[in-house]
Amino acid sequence: MHTDKKKIDTILKADQLCVHYDKHPVLWDISLEIPKNQMVAIIGPNGAGKSTFVKAALNLVEPFSGSIDFLGNECSIAYVPQKESIDWSFPICAFEVVLMGSYGKLGYFKKPKEKDKSDAMKMLDVVGMRGLAGKQINQLSGGQKQRLFIARALMQNPDIIFLDEPFAGIDMATEKLIIDVLKKLKEQNKTIFIVHHDLRTLKRYFDWLILLNTYLVGSGPIDEVLTEENIEKTFGNSLSLFEEANILSTAQTKGL
């Protein structure tokens, strides 16, 4: 009975996952299970395999060995890549980008319906960008671009959302707006995976933590995994940078 419940609650499982690029291991022997309806942070230094873990989950890269799979009923998945991976010179406006999120439901050779267009405007409302619907994407700020692609992801009404460094290069006001949107989605029983870099916000934003440095340092509830020992294993000599900002003491004393 206990095993059945665990199977129902688990939404993503990796089993001895290894990913190589040009025979160089990027992820090595990763085994973990993630429960559904969590805000999940994926943390690690540069080159630790964070984005590769996401791409392996999405079948964008092929494992060298092992597996990573979604469990339970069939679920829909949306992906918001890093801003740097997008061609922002493409001549398209913000509204058209969000409307593209409906294409997967339409099928070939079908045009968006009025409801799809109405939904696109609603999603722009959700991220506070209705007034920029007609703006060309190359005229948007970094934070506006990030909100735009989150709106496009929301058009798919996904059960699971992956975001790769969504807070990189944006101001705190935009970061707060985005995290508020994502927390509301979690309240709607969505599961959110975020490649993240700021340890100071971990306890405020997330329920679950994955620590990677090619191998798996730890995976579990944030209160259990966010320890000085695990951070040192993950970042090594870089730990001093975070100690100077009182990351761990702030998290422990203020419940951030």
Residue 12 · residue 68 · CB < 8 Å: yes
pLDDT the model gives residue 171:
87
8 Å CB contact between 218 and 208: no
> What does the pLDDT read at residue 206?
96
Own/partner long-range contacts of 228-236 (Cβ < 8 Å, ≥24 apart): 231/199, 234/43, 234/44, 234/45, 234/48, 235/44, 235/45, 236/45
Candidates 58, 54, 9; CA nearest to 36 is: 9
**pTM for this prediction:** 0.86
Task: Give pLDDT tens digits along the chain (256 positions).
Answer: 333 444 458 999 999 999 998 888 999 999 999 999 999 999 999 989 999 999 999 999 999 999 999 987 678 899 998 876 677 778 889 999 999 888 766 555 567 788 989 999 999 999 999 999 999 988 998 888 889 999 999 998 899 999 999 998 888 888 999 999 999 999 999 999 999 988 989 999 999 999 999 999 999 999 999 998 999 999 886 555 555 444 454 444 444 4
- How far, in Å, are 118, 120, 167, 194 from residue 50 at the CA level? 35, 30, 15, 10
List, by residue range, all CATH 3.40.50.300 domains of the chain: 2-75+159-254
Residues with Cβ < 8 Å from 229, sequence gap 6 or more? none
Span 2-75+159-254: which CATH code?
3.40.50.300
* Alpha helix segments (H runs only) across the chain: 2-9, 50-57, 94-99, 103-106, 114-126, 142-154, 172-187, 202-205, 222-225, 228-235, 239-244, 247-254
d(CA 199, CA 71): 29
pLDDT of residue 82: 81
Q: How far apart are CA 253 and CA 128, in angstroms?
A: 34
φ, ψ for residue 58 (rounded to 5)? -90, 5
The angle subtended at Cα 209 by Cα 204 and Cα 212, nearest 5°, is 135
How high is the pLDDT of residue 84?
A: 65
Rounded-to-integer distance, Cα 216 and Cα 201, Å: 21
Contacts of 171 (CB under 8 A, 6+ apart): 143
Strand partners, 216: 212
Amino acid identity at 92 = I
Contact 77, 160 (CB under 8 A): yes
